[in-house]
Structure 1
Amino acid sequence: MHTEVEPIVTRLQQDVPAAEARIDDAMIALLSLTTSVVAARRDTAGVPAAKGHAMIQRLAKAQMSLVDISGEVFRVHGDLVTIGRETAGYDIHEDCPLQESAVVPLHAVA
């Protein structure tokens, strides 16, 4: 690997998984908020079911936006891997702490 490329690769190896993890954290936080909002609506006496529905729709829309963002970042990750292989013969997945756990069998989450 070229000496001038090493700091770039090192930074990307840290920044890409960190960004992916932060997006996951944001999705989890938003799902938690959505759960709290729906539970509060359900558990508050005298609140009609239709009350707060627009807010729940906005939360669901925000969640889908995060899912879209996550997909875009994963595509960027793939593009970086391709560039690394083509230009330096390097695989950014090497030393990537999230790589081993990135693929989860469906039976593990079902």
Structure 2
Amino acid sequence: MPKEITFTAARLVRDVPAAEIRIDDALIAVSSLMASVVTARRDTDGVPATRGHATIQRLVKAQMALVDVSGDILRVHGDLVDIGRETGGYDLHECPATAEGDATPLASAA
């Protein structure tokens, strides 16, 4: 296998899971923000429920966008695995569980 394919494959093995993790992190952050906004609206005296409704709708829209992005990246991941099998002759049974580097596995985050 040519070196450029080996380097490209190694970069993808690192970058695809890293993107998946970052999207999940963004979804968690938006979800936490949603909880904070709803809690603040509920716990602040004198604020009518209608006051924060548009903000909450925007957060829901952002969450759904991230869920859509996550699904697209998962499909890209599957496509790249198929391309790797076809082009590189890889016999891939599993993708890396997590990206190397600054990613923190969920088990250690709890």
Please classify the TM superposition score into its range, dividing by the shorter chain length.
0.7 to 0.9
5 Å-filtered alignment, 1:1-110, equals 1-90=1-90, 91=92, 93-94=94-95, 96-98=96-98
Decide whether the 8 Å contact of 1:9 with 1:92 is kept in 2: no
Provide the identity percentage: 63
C-alpha separation in 2, matches of 1:48 and 1:92: 54
SS class of match (2:4): coil
The TM-score with structure 2 as length reference comes to 0.83
Q: State the 1:47 CA deviation.
A: 0.7
Q: Which moved more, 1:77-86 or 1:1-10?
A: 1-10
- CA offsets 1:12-61 (integer angstroms, 9 cap, x no match): 00000000000000000000000000000000001111111010000000
Runs of 4+ deviating beyond 2 Å: 1-4, 91-94
2:38 alignment partner AA:
V
C-alpha separation in 2, matches of 1:15 and 1:92: 18
Unaligned runs of 5+ in 1: 99-110
SS class of match (1:11): helix
Q: State the 1:3 CA deviation.
A: 2.5
Distance 1:69 1:58, change over 3 A: same
C-alpha separation in 2, matches of 1:93 and 1:43: 47
2:14 alignment partner AA:
Q
The TM-score with structure 1 as length reference comes to 0.83
Q: How many corresponding residue pairs?
A: 98
